Structure 1
Amino acid sequence: MDLEVRHLRVVCAIAESGSLTRAAASLRMTQPGVSAQLRRIERILGGTLFERRQAGVAPTALGELVLCRARAILPGVDGLLADTARAAHRQAAIARIRLGSVGAPLLGHLILAVRQVLPEVEVTTRCQYSALPLLDDLTDDRLEAAVLGDNPGCELPPRDGVVQQPLVTEPVFALLPAGHPLAARDEVDLARLREEEWAVPRADNDRTREYWSSILALTGRHPHAPYEAEGRQLIEIVRAGLAVSLCQATFIEVPGVAVRPLAGNPLWYRHILAWHRESPLAVHGPEILRRVGDGYEAIRAASPAYAVWRERNPEKAMLTERARPGQG
């Protein structure tokens, strides 16, 4: 019988617990099973590894030698197993690409870009309101790429192994009921907008609401915000004429709501494309970024309010030019 890695784990568990009974519990074995395993290991190594005492067990001189070598070997074996597991997962992931997105208009273009560069793969998606859970998923190999977003002063934290490539920064606009008096204006003053009742996203760790509040505070006071909602629910509250809110400049107007620029451009939003450095998509990052960027320009062109804003704010519009691969 040859010595195996599992035998070294048994020896270490006995030494660390100081008891065959406690070692059995940590190894999910029975105490007689651990005793029998220890006797087999001692026969292989040619001597007694532990002295049995009333309070438990203690390593012999031979046991100390074995423990010293085992503790040097096992971390390398565990590292090898972890690395090969990740490599096998990534190899399998080539057949399936998992994408994520916040509530931005770029996910469809990301899917199309992935299908262009890897036409044989299956693409799956997962959406979140907040960017941070998606960033966690990228870090932990649960996603290969994602559309993220953040705001000035509330930037996403860097993560080991994850590339965060800014795509474009755009202004934040007002979202109004279509019949609201402010919807008749070319742009809306934020101080005037704060006098209305608001629908706002829940306060969570993506800091969008914190960012909105910090800018609104500069107007002198916070608005009354009785409605907490996101996505379709927030739009329906606005459409019903119950509240106003804010939206991305690329938000496409739907019946019942109006999108208008904010005077002075006080708020901004940054679109980010992110992927794991060891993802099958990493080598295609620049090409995917280019294709998603082309998609963004098509979306921007379809937004009348954004087009008018760009014509009236040529200097600010320069800030909204999309980033190229390699730009931060």
Structure 2
Amino acid sequence: MDLELRHLRIVRAVADAGSVSKAASLLGLAQPALTAQLKRIERVLGGTLFERDRHGARPTRLGELVLARARVLLPAAKELQEEAVRFAHASPSFRIGATNGPILGGLVDRLAAERQVSTYTSWSAHELTGMVELGRLDYVLTGACGDSGTPTGTLVWETISLDPVFCLVAEAHPVAREKEVELAGLAREQWAVTPGDGCFADCFAMACARAGFTPGTIYETDVSTCTHLAQVGRAVVLCQATHQAAQGLVMVPLAGAPLRWRQLLGRHPTTPDATWVVAQAKEAHKDVVRRSPVYQDWLVRNPGYGTAP
């Protein structure tokens, strides 16, 4: 009998459980069957792997050697299997997942000139990140507050841009003709924002606290409802500076950029074409900036923002 990965899993299970009976229960085997398996493994390896008594099972010196190798080999084999599955199921198209953002359309347009593109949208960056990790998507286009760290996990992340957060108000709103507005000047307003599972709500609350007030009602809803609430004067909408204002709305910068937003593109480390796709995402962002006179004017006065180098 040759040593197999399943044998190493048995050795690891016994060591982790601390007894053969507990390991058998965890593995869904009868204890006599697991005991017989363990004896066969010990014959292959040439010695006893565990000292067993009424207190349980403890690795011998040989058992410790085998266990140390098993703890390296088993994760490596699992990683190889997952990577092979990703390779075998690699799609000839670009599969892009995205949260609500302004550059997805431009990125799809650029990528579709070279290859078929499919998209999947969600309010949850965590969901999209998990889909990339499982090989169901190639890229995730999402964002994070400007002061937050890079998302954790196995993905490789590229910063596409650093943008300020502006506000959308109705054309008849008192601040609509202002070059920019202090956040404190909007203290009596109600607010609307699109949902997400990041830290933006907490960052907004802290920015308001620094400005000396607690925000009133915050409507967390879809883009069309946010737009309607702003148009009828029911709320001020927080938006990325790259947002294209709908009819009847005006985008006004917040003085001092108290809120910032980073556009991020995440991918699995084995995903091909990454450099080219990142470059296309940055060009898509530049295109959106060029279509926004308000943001272009703000960038002249506030260097250090915009498309990442």
Counterpart of 1:70 (choices 66, 71, 80) is 66
Consecutive unaligned residues of structure 1, counting only runs of 5 or more, are none
Q: CA deviation at 1:253?
A: 1.9
Partner of 1:223: 215
Partner of 1:251: 243
Q: CA deviation at 1:28?
A: 0.9
The one-letter amino acid paired with 2:138 is E
The correspondence of residues 73-112 of structure 1 with structure 2, limited to 5 A, is 73-95=69-91, 97-112=94-109
Partner of 2:123: 128
Partner of 2:30: 30
**Higher mean C-alpha deviation, range 216-225 or range 8-17:** 8-17
Q: CA deviation at 1:108?
A: 2.5
Kept in 2: contact 1:172–1:262 (CA 8 A): yes
Partner of 2:139: 145
TM-score after normalising by structure 2: 0.77
TM-score after normalising by structure 1: 0.73
- Structure possessing the higher radius of gyration over alpha carbons: 1
**Residue 227 of structure 2 corresponds to residue 235 of structure 1:** yes
Which SS does the other structure have where 2:307 is aligned?
A: coil
Q: Distance in 1 between matches of 2:57 and 2:90?
A: 50
Kept in 2: contact 1:174–1:188 (CA 8 A): no
Which SS does the other structure have where 2:304 is aligned?
A: helix
Kept in 1: contact 2:144–2:263 (CA 8 A): yes
Q: CA deviation at 1:233?
A: 3.3
Q: Choose between structure 1 and 2: higher helix proportion.
A: 1
Partner of 2:165: 172
Counterpart of 1:319 (choices 276, 291, 304) is 304
The one-letter amino acid paired with 1:302 is R
The one-letter amino acid paired with 1:167 is I
Structure 1 residues 10, 245: CA separation in 2 closer, same or farther (over 3 Å shift)?
A: closer
Q: Distance in 2 between matches of 1:11 and 1:212?
A: 52
The one-letter amino acid paired with 1:277 is P
Counterpart of 2:205 (choices 213, 219, 226) is 213
Kept in 2: contact 1:199–1:229 (CA 8 A): yes
Which SS does the other structure have where 1:224 is aligned?
A: coil
Which SS does the other structure have where 1:155 is aligned?
A: coil
Q: Distance in 2 between matches of 1:185 and 1:280?
A: 46
The correspondence of residues 292-311 of structure 1 with structure 2, limited to 5 A, is 292-303=281-292, 307-308=293-294, 310-311=296-297
Q: Percent identity?
A: 31
Q: CA RMSD in A?
A: 3.8
**Higher mean C-alpha deviation, range 170-179 or range 64-73:** 64-73
Structure 1 residues 90, 220: CA separation in 2 closer, same or farther (over 3 Å shift)?
A: same
The one-letter amino acid paired with 1:146 is V
Kept in 1: contact 2:139–2:265 (CA 8 A): yes
Kept in 1: contact 2:230–2:249 (CA 8 A): yes
The C-alpha deviation readout for 1:252-275, integer Å capped at 9, x for no partner, is 222343323335554433323333
**Higher mean C-alpha deviation, range 44-53 or range 137-146:** 44-53
The one-letter amino acid paired with 2:118 is V
Q: CA deviation at 1:33?
A: 3.0
Q: CA deviation at 1:20?
A: 4.6
Kindly tell me the number of residue pairs found equivalent between the two proteins.
Answer: 308
Q: CA deviation at 1:105?
A: 1.1
Kept in 1: contact 2:138–2:268 (CA 8 A): yes
Kept in 2: contact 1:145–1:281 (CA 8 A): no
The one-letter amino acid paired with 1:310 is Q
